[in-house]
Amino acid sequence: MRGAAYIRAMLKSLRLTLSAIEPRQWIGAGIAIGAVGIIGSLFFLEYLYGYWKPEPEIVYFQSWEADRSVEDARGVQMEERRIREQTEALADQLAAEAREGLATSTAATEAPPE
């Protein structure tokens, strides 16, 4: 019986302590606990899905002499355009070959066994 009295006294003390707390203190505690909960949930989401790194942005710089003419600049631009077009044509050719190889391998796996 002595233990039950001790528990009742503890609960009475807890009720008195909680009733002495002002509403603005409850609001502050709620905001603080909510902020900790949000930050903790963000850490948990990062743990589940990992960190998504942004794609790197590569910028190339090229130095030129001060006495470069307009014709020189246009010539370099034409050469760069020709190289870019060749690269794109090669990429398209490789992509077409890859698609063709993928289609033949898919058709071979879908063919009924004889």
Model pLDDT for residues 36-45, shown as the tens digit of each residue: 999 999 999 9
- Token pair 């355009």 is found at 81
Q: What is the pTM of this model?
A: 0.39
Domain borders along the chain are 1-53, 60-114
Residues in the chain: 114
Model pLDDT for residues 28-63, shown as the tens digit of each residue: 999 999 999 999 999 999 889 887 788 888 888 777
Q: How far apart are CA 66 and CA 34, in angstroms?
A: 61
State yes or no: pLDDT of 114 exceeds 60: no
Taking CA atoms, 55 is separated from 42, 47, 52, 58, 61, in Å, by 22, 21, 9, 9, 19
Model pLDDT for residues 59-110, shown as the tens digit of each residue: 887 777 888 888 988 998 999 999 999 999 999 999 999 998 888 877 666 6
Is residue 16 helix, strand or coil? Answer: helix
